[in-house]
Amino acid sequence: MAINRKMEFAADEIALADLAKAISHPARIAILKILARQKSCICGEIVEGLPLAQATVSQHLKELKSIGLIKGTIEGKTSCYCIDWDVFNQFISHFGVFAELAQNASVQSQSCC
Amino acid sequence: MAINRKMEFAADEIALADLAKAISHPARIAILKILARQKSCICGEIVEGLPLAQATVSQHLKELKSIGLIKGTIEGKTSCYCIDWDVFNQFISHFGVFAELAQNASVQSQSCC
DNA sequence: TATATTCATCGTATATTTGCGATATAAAAT
DNA sequence: ATTTTATATCGCAAATATACGATGAATATA
């Protein structure tokens, strides 16, 4: 973009947008699904479950980790990832904001367009 | 990207990622908040509420409309937008998938990393 | 110790997104 | 009929995101 106007928005809007961006790629959705399914934290198995090169998967994992949606620790030769449910559930609950705003205005039921 | 591997993912993962992408920008979050607050559908007021040029806002509105999160109709000289709550609420409910997967594996409580 | 395995990071190519001025379109006002 | 107003679209420039091969670092194995 010509100018980055991101900082001119409210902090909570930026935060929600950043979290949404973190899951705005099918590979990262797929990674989260794999992690949600696994009882034990997996690592390179994620690569096998995706149609992407190892380097690319590692990059997606890094993105999810940097936003906090997943945690990762190195266990010997392998890396172990899992969902940080605190962050994840809090993220989901943020969407309630829209319903609250609508409820205050009692708008949701009436479709005007 | 060198190669577009998007189509090699599951359709529902692509759909969820696309919806997440639609709200992955603070301007689009802000637009949805404005629309949720308003009893009547607004139009150019959105432009005034954002730190962006009219052309840019129009582009964001187009994105939200094309994914279906908002509806828009032309009313005389102005355009009227509002949230499509059916689509929006269904989108939010899709996030339940992760919790379900985790519950089946009874993983959510135990943090392994 | 040498080698293999696992994963992260670097560098790079390409694709997509973002932003805006300029312009088009269409209704309303003069 | 002309001008103003509201909005969409086009075309471009700059920023980001995506993908991967090559390489590095660290551990495990022969």
Q: Which residue among A6, A25, A82 places its CB closest to the CB of B112?
A: A82
Which of B28, B74, B98, B104 should be substituted to probe chain A, the one whose Cβ sees the most A Cβ atoms within 10 Å? B98
Predicted local confidence at residue B103, as pLDDT: 85
Predicted local confidence at residue B113, as pLDDT: 75
**Cα–Cα distances in Å, from A52 out to A22, B19, B41, B112?**
17, 22, 43, 25
Looking at per-residue pLDDT, the higher value among B76 and A21 belongs to A21
Q: Which domains does chain B have, with CATH numbers?
A: 6-104 (1.10.10.10)
- Element (DSSP H or E) covering residue A70: strand A70-75
Pair B10, A77: CB distance under 8 Å: no
Predicted local confidence at residue B75, as pLDDT: 86
Is the pLDDT assigned to residue A66 strictly greater than 90? yes
| CA neighbor of B64 nearest in space, from A20, A43, A47, A84 | A20
List the pLDDT tens digit at each of the 113 positions of chain B.
678 899 899 999 999 999 999 999 999 999 999 999 987 778 899 999 999 999 999 999 999 999 999 999 988 889 999 999 999 999 999 999 999 998 887 665 555 67
